[in-house]
Structure 1
Amino acid sequence: MLFNGNESTPKRWFSLEYQWVYLNYTWTSAHHYRWALESRCYIPENNAPVGFEVYENAVFVSVPRFRPGVPATLTVFDRNTASKLNPLLSPYPDWDSNDLSSCRNLQSVQSMKVDTRGVMWVIDGVRINNLTRCPPKLVLLDLRTGGELVHSYEFPSELSSAQGGFLNDLVIDERVGGSFAYITENSADPGVIVYSRKENRSWKLRDRSMLAEPRAVGFYVDGLLFNNSVPVDGIALSPKDHNGEKTLFYVALSSFTLYSLPTSVIRQEQSVFDGSWKQWVRPTATIPSQVDGIIMDNRANLYLTLLPLYGVARWDFRKPSRGFQIIQQDDTTTIWPDGFAFDQSGFLYVISNQVLRYIDSRQEVPVNSDIKFRVLRTFTGTNSYLYD
């Protein structure tokens, strides 16, 4: 696969949209705020944004509970009224739904996606510490009714454990006969989980292509060595082809290889049990660097975050010989570009969050006035793969 890295390539397609020194919330009162600080239910320096999604005028942000002191793990702000600097986050749907006291509530959310009907699919599945022992789950919330619970599904422990599971990212495959979700699980038992909404069942794909590549382990970002061996992480779905079929893409964070397979071979549980789906796995491209988030638009352009390059690349799946084009590269504003989101007006967003400083509890988090989290955007004139 070619890598288009010539000097004429534009390197700053994205402009700054939001930024935070630290995350703060819309507390119910001054007393509530003081209580949260004094009880250490809110430890400002332990809060880092990860998931990012835009629906109409609402901007949704997930704050996984990598560390104690995160009062709400799914939040929202209004992009029409919010400040561009340190916009306050409101718990979504409300404070009670983010309370750790019940497994029915949201425990630690990594990612979420909104389908074409305005239903947000939320993966509540970061289980890498002792802050919760609740099973990982998928939660569907209707954004048109203020976040009303549509459905909740707990994953079997053999697919994602309550002790060590890590549901990382997802894509939604909308179909007339019933939608599917494809979810990366990058715990010690890595794979891609397939969830059938119609059957309310899930099954897991496990394959060597989902493991870390030793040659891709170890790289520096902002002076820090990230030496973790991270399996399958980023996931993307193509728009329908001329036969009405879609292609699933996935990549391990510690890898230089993008893999793909047709979704038609993984939507049937039996094909997973007999292993026949594995013959369809293809190494699709060699990528320029280690990546985290990936996303495809409705014109089959794949966007990838480039972690040690502080950048974003674009690749046309339908014209692969053109190679990867770096469209963003900035070691100040794009420190650990984590993931993407499209709005409904042709803009692509990327969140940059330095998450390597937060996910490892042994790493000291700086407390200062520096900008730590940024959301950038660029106009592509396209939309999410869901609107094919």
Structure 2
Amino acid sequence: MAWQLLILCLPFASAAVKLEEMFSWNVMDWNYPDEYSRQQAIATDALIPENALPVGIERWRNKLFVSVPRWRPGIPATLNYIPLDVPYQPSPKLIPYPSWQGNELGNCESGLNTVYRIKADKCDRLWVLDVGTYGYDPNVTNLCPYALNVYDLKTDQRIRRYVFRPEDIVPSTFIANIAVDIGSSCDDAFAYFSDELGYGLIAYSWEQNKSWRFSHSYFMPDPLVGDFNIAGLNFQWGAEGIFGITLSPIGLDGYRTLYFTPLSSHTEFSVSTRILRDESKVSGSYKDFKVVGVRGPDTHTTSKVMDNSAVQLFSLIDQNAIGCWNSALPLKPQNVGVVDKDDVGLVFPSDVKIDEGKNVWVMSDRMPVFLESELDYSDINFRIYTARLDTLLQGTVCEQQQQFIPLARIQDSKQTTVQLPYTTRTQSVTLPPTLPTFTQNEYTSNLVPNPQFTGASYPQTTHNIIPKASSYMQINMPKTPSAPYTHYRYTENKPSGRNLWWHKNYEVQENY
């Protein structure tokens, strides 16, 4: 009986119970047309599975995109996807996007060389920056210029390629993150790129088809926090500047706020997109950049994302965890929460995203071990997790709180009258006392005053109204194990009988 109670208590005693592991790999592999083609690729070193490290993810409808930079030889495609509408496989093979030819190394006009993080927008476009390089520092070859590629996700066709201007790039430029800002229409779109080693921020206007570069001391690394300890490795990344970037919801002034953090820093900074959207602000905007606050010790982060309720999620690479911050609160250590932590599965969470259905996606890839040491390919090295956003925030300081109206304020409102001027008359109209009205937010749980409230202690409340996640998995398709990638690969037997959310039948949102 004691062991049964222990098992029941485990989910509540462990922090790593919210994120569900969806996919995992010992080594990455690609879905070749046939086995002969794959063997030919291996024989010619066009495919070396041990050299692949996934770094970025993005979800759009029935596709989960995965980027694999060409840091080492043997990477057949840098931009790929996993179909979510096929029978489930725990270790699926990657499919090149938009095609094998569209990932041709050295083809500057129609290929992709190295891609890091990617972003899909609400206009069904995929924003992809090709950095044009092959290899990893210090052995880097610049094959092509930095170029933004935008794809129509409905047709899988590239609809724009834009090459950055020479004045946007410096000799040390290394761009790894992208944020996309959609305004009043799909043409009113901007993209922002963080130059980690060039210490700059590049803005691009879709309508003008033009880019410009900002410089600021806030883009620099903090020399006091350049020492890292991850997965038992101690190393120094003291030169890493502006890295993780994300955008807030549109504010009352019609603009968003861009939040950013240097990788070698524990401090968060921000700037209004009113500044970034205006090329004339490149000079003379120093004071428009703000210090938001400090997250606290051991809070280096590589990736961050903010949903439309203004709650930010970010990777905590020192802690093998995903952190959170509700931007309604000041940014300080006591207002930073940990939504999940796993000292095995979340070693170096490299990317975190939130899709249109309020599902969180997290990738972990053991990057420091890959770069500074050597991965054990008999072990699981790469994982993709997912969970509902509200599930992750539950019980943390970031959870959306209900707002209660004190009874005294309600009683006071009954004893006062409100006079509003009537524009077409010369006299005021006295209105009967009314309680304030609120609109239930689609994704949050707020207290809703009852217009018929006449006493009691507090108005009635409503429960969370959260739409079901869009899912394109077919329910009745059985799980089928993926084939071993190489003859030496160790294949882990996945536990069965897990009630994972992506096997359920969720309605597809019409406006997705």
Name 1:331's counterpart in structure 2: 343
1:245, distance to aligned residue in structure 2 (A): 1.8
Alignment match of 1:304 (pick from 298, 310, 314): 314
Number of residue pairs aligned between Structure 1 and Structure 2: 370
Q: Does 1:117 align with 2:117?
A: no
Name 2:217's counterpart in structure 1: 208
Distance 1:82 1:194, change over 3 A: farther
Name 2:166's counterpart in structure 1: 157
Q: Does 1:224 align with 2:233?
A: yes
Name 1:355's counterpart in structure 2: 367
Alignment match of 1:81 (pick from 77, 86, 97): 86
Distance 1:125 1:89 in 2: 21
Distance 2:37 2:104 in 1: 14
Q: Which amino acid aligns with 2:321?
A: G
Distance 1:135 1:101 in 2: 11
Contact 1:139 1:151 in 2 (8 A): yes
Name 1:42's counterpart in structure 2: 47
Name 1:277's counterpart in structure 2: 285
Contact 2:112 2:132 in 1 (8 A): no
Contact 2:228 2:237 in 1 (8 A): no
Q: Which has the larger radius of gyration?
A: 2
Q: Which amino acid aligns with 2:173?
A: G
Name 1:102's counterpart in structure 2: 107
Distance 1:13 1:126, change over 3 A: farther
Q: Does 1:60 align with 2:53?
A: no
Task: Classify the secondary structure of the residue corresponding to 2:154.
Answer: helix
Distance 2:100 2:157 in 1: 14
Contact 2:245 2:260 in 1 (8 A): yes
Contact 1:58 1:78 in 2 (8 A): yes
Contact 1:21 1:373 in 2 (8 A): yes
Identical positions, percent = 28
Higher relative contact order (CA 8 A, sep 6+): 1
Distance 2:255 2:87 in 1: 40
1:323-362 Cα deviation digits (max 9, x unpaired):
111111111110001111222322111111112234x4xx
Alignment match of 1:170 (pick from 146, 159, 178): 178
Distance 1:312 1:56, change over 3 A: same
Q: Which amino acid aligns with 1:192?
A: L
Any gaps of 5 or more consecutive residues in structure 2? 1-11, 391-442, 444-466, 468-510
Any gaps of 5 or more consecutive residues in structure 1? 1-6
1:282, distance to aligned residue in structure 2 (A): 1.1
1:63-98 Cα deviation digits (max 9, x unpaired):
011111111000011123254422110000110011
Q: Which amino acid aligns with 2:368?
A: L
Contact 2:16 2:341 in 1 (8 A): yes
- Compute the TM-score of the two structures, normalised by the length of structure 1: 0.90
- CA-atom RMSD in angstroms: 2.1
Higher strand share: 1
Contact 1:160 1:166 in 2 (8 A): no
Contact 1:191 1:205 in 2 (8 A): yes
Distance 2:215 2:87 in 1: 42
Larger displacement relative to structure 2 (192-201 or 176-185): 176-185
- Compute the TM-score of the two structures, normalised by the length of structure 2: 0.69
Name 2:263's counterpart in structure 1: 253
Contact 1:9 1:327 in 2 (8 A): no
Distance 2:43 2:142 in 1: 21
Task: Classify the secondary structure of the residue corresponding to 2:385.
Answer: strand
Q: Does 1:197 align with 2:206?
A: yes
Distance 1:126 1:340, change over 3 A: farther
Q: Which amino acid aligns with 1:116?
A: K
